[in-house]
Amino acid sequence: MSTAHSTKHSAIVVGTGPGLGFALARQFGRELGEVALIARSADRLAPLVRELQELGITAHALTADAADLDGLRGTIEQAVAVMSPLKALIYNAAAIQPARPMALDPKTLAAELVVDVAAPLAAAQAAAPALEANGGGSVLFTGGGFALYPYPEMAALSAGKAALRNLTATLAQDLAPKKIDVAIVTICGYLAEEGRFAPDTVAQAYWDRHAAPADAERPFELTYA
């Protein structure tokens, strides 16, 4: 990882896969100049980082498991330490295991809620001091329509997205005085290769929220439908 760069700002994307996570990394990296990609697998991140670097974006690959809260915090702090001033944290990780509620092991539910709710909070807490020191910024969470329309086949994810939505509402109030805009992007639909739910198109909505002027009306939830 090189610290020699002339970019002005940076973003961190937690949960970077080849779909929406990569689209978010590319969007924010292109706009800000520098981005850190965090995922569990270094092998999966390597080609994504290469592609970003070929576009002229300073990109870093860092590994962390969202289920390991202390490890996730440490990785975010590590990214902040080597990058340009942080302006955006995006949490895009989720535990996705289909199960109806009566077939759902409560221990499995508890483990999924760590990834879906506790880890976003840990990530925000780790990034907030840097965002505040840099004059403010954004904390953006990937939400889902299951928060509004619970789906029995995805009982754990439905509960997790609903809890994250509520957490976002309260966290937004805590961080607003520090000039940190907190929002959840509630994606009411399934990602697709083209059209409104193409990853690049969805990623643009995240950027538009980040770039919105501070005096604009910015509710804690951006419903993307």
For the chain, domains (ranges, CATH) are 9-224 (3.40.50.720)
Cα gap 66→159, rounded to integer Å: 18
β-strand partners of 34: 10, 58
Single pTM value for the model: 0.96
H helices present in the chain, as ranges? 20-32, 42-54, 69-82, 106-113, 119-133, 155-175, 199-211
Structure tokens given for 156: 């754990």
pLDDT digits (tens, 9 = 90+) for 97-106: 999 999 999 9
- The neighbour count for residue 121, using CB atoms within 10 Å, is 16
Residue environment code for 144-156, b if the CB has 16+ CB neighbours within 10 A, otherwise e? bbbbbeeeeebbb
- Report whether pLDDT(4) > 80: no
pLDDT digits (tens, 9 = 90+) for 123-174: 999 999 999 999 999 999 999 999 999 999 999 999 999 999 999 999 999 9
d(CA 208, CA 105): 39
